Structure 1
Amino acid sequence: MTDNKSLNNPYLPDLATVQEVIDETANIRTLRVTLDDKEKMAAFNFRPGQVGQISVFGTGESTFVINSPPTRRDYLQFSVMRVGEITQRIHQLNAGDRIGLRAPLGNGFQYEDMKGRDILFIGGGIGMAPLRTLLLHMIDNRADYGDITAIYGARSPKDLCYTYEFEEWKTGGVNLVLTVDSEFPGWKERVGFVPTILSQEAPSPLNRIAIVCGPPIMIKFVLFGLKELGFEDRQIITTLEKRMKCGIGICGRCNVGSKYVCVDGPVFNYEQIKGMCQEL
């Protein structure tokens, strides 16, 4: 149940507690958190792809995708790359520490429209975080979807997130294609940039949706590759949550052309944003 105070002040976060911290890479940490209000936690509902604003008291707040799926509700998971003051403070948090959380925000993936379709996930580095929530949701509802392929790459094996889950993804019916940018001692999977691996795999666009997230340069060349394979603009989906600030359409920081990422997104298909790519 939402209290009147929260309704009157959309900037007021709920109190939450860090339950577990996982070091994914040298500069990416995953937090598993729960709301302190048990009734709110039990009633918390969200769509894959929606985001939350994490507050570190005395420092500020920043936006991160909820990368746990709504089918698994014991905690809410966020993965954070250390890139500035707020993320540095988040990386200093430990189990038992308290934070503020405003969530869920944004629109999320329209997974109902993907039922019966083949799904292609293409991720790079921390870009796997928003894909993970939808991937796990689909594993937990595996009969609703056709082939699920995930191409996931990073600079080196040490830069891949969620390595402890890869076997679960495979046993859950995911064709997982892993790659790193260059040769690495002991690495037995693919070697090459993600767009190159996409070209080699050459998935058919027939009845398939492609969902892409990663570094901007990767996304740029993946989009070229998907178009060369014959994917239509509406078949290509990406997420832009990094641009969000206030999360409620007031500050204007996240506008891209006529779109506000926090209100109209962060999930868009390529048809919706292709004319604004120079602004991304």
Structure 2
Amino acid sequence: MSRNEYMPFLSKIVKVRKHTEIEYTFTMTYEGEVKPGQFFEVSIPKFGEAPISVSGIGDGTVDLTIRRVGKVTNEIFERYEGDSLFMRGPYGNGFDYEDYRGGELVVVAGGTGVSPVRGVIRYFADHPEERGNMTLIAGFKSPEDVLFRDDFADWAGKMNLVLTVDGAGEGYTGNVGLVTRYIPELKLQDVGTAKAIVVGPPAMMRFSVKALLERGILEENIWVSYERKMCCGIGKCGHCRIGDKYVCADGPVFPYTVGRELVD
């Protein structure tokens, strides 16, 4: 008998971590293969379901970083450690570590775009022998909007880290400015083989890729992650279709050579 791909399973909340007033990370029980950049459909009966990217992978767990933006996520935020949620997945293409091994790696992420690529950052932060120089440029609206503060403190000693905010009040001493401001300053030993990942809001991704190309990184060495109206997760409902691609099934992670053609 074939498995019903729409059938959810019950997952226990192991830990809840607050980042901001509207962004929490839920560590959920999960046994099975999963890649950074994939997503689960998280549901609560009578309230609906929402696609949530995998933001971390543990031993028998996955992290789901959730932003409170609507009916389903509002209800999820009423759940605590020891409670359970329904999930189905993982769905879609994720980031494959093999694509980035052996060379220099640049990650450019904006806001909640840090979530789907966090697993890649953590992996190569902890396995420097598998890559060359690594640079992370991460941007948030303000100091109060920064996610994963403990991770950034750890990553600062393991790679070239540029953490920046769009704007800040008096007393702030960190970087200010869009992520694109720092891409021309990238110090690359071999631009022809350097790999790059870009995740974030559409405009930020567009201008970041443009800046990376101007810096000399090749189109075929850039990956992007899209999120667009993903509902069923298996390419059946058509809500996320762009041209002949289904973001939920063919993505959310795309080589830029494919992603550049996906104009909504």
1:186 and 2:174 aligned: no
| Cα distance in structure 2, aligned partners of 1:119 and 1:243 | 29
Q: In structure 1, give the amino acid aligned to 2:93.
A: N
Shift of 1:255: 1.1
1:26 and 2:16 aligned: no
Find the partner of 1:80 among 62, 66, 70: 66
Q: In structure 2, give the amino acid aligned to 1:126.
A: T
Aligned pairs (5 A) from 1:76-115: 76-115=62-101
Shift of 1:202: 6.1
| Cα distance in structure 2, aligned partners of 1:170 and 1:200 | 17
3-state DSSP of counterpart to 1:250: coil
Find the partner of 1:16 among 11, 32, 47: 11
Find the partner of 2:129 among 130, 143, 147: 143
| Cα distance in structure 2, aligned partners of 1:143 and 1:190 | 29
1:53 and 2:41 aligned: yes
Q: In structure 1, give the amino acid aligned to 2:163.
A: L
Shift of 1:63: 0.9
Find the partner of 2:181 among 193, 196, 202: 196
Runs of 4+ in 1 over 4 A off after TM superposition: none
Q: In structure 2, give the amino acid aligned to 1:208.
A: A
Partner residue in 2 for 1:38: none
Q: In structure 2, give the amino acid aligned to 1:137.
A: Y
Find the partner of 1:176 among 148, 153, 161: 161
TM-score, normalised relative to structure 1: 0.88
Q: In structure 2, give the amino acid aligned to 1:52.
A: F
| Cα distance in structure 2, aligned partners of 1:92 and 1:221 | 37
| Structure with more of its chain in helix, by fraction | 1
Partner residue in 2 for 1:210: 196
How many residues are aligned here?
263
Shift of 1:161: 0.4
1:261 and 2:254 aligned: no
Partner residue in 2 for 1:241: 227
| Cα distance in structure 2, aligned partners of 1:76 and 1:186 | 36
Deviation digits for residues 94-148 of structure 1 (CA, Å, limit 9, x no counterpart)? 1122111112211211221221111111111111001101111222332111111
3-state DSSP of counterpart to 2:81: coil
Q: Report the aligned-residue RMSD.
A: 1.7
Q: Percent of aligned positions with the same letter in both sequences? A: 34
| Cα distance in structure 2, aligned partners of 1:259 and 1:121 | 25
Gaps of 5+ in 1: 36-40
**Counterpart contact for 2:228–2:247, Cα < 8 Å:** no
3-state DSSP of counterpart to 2:72: helix
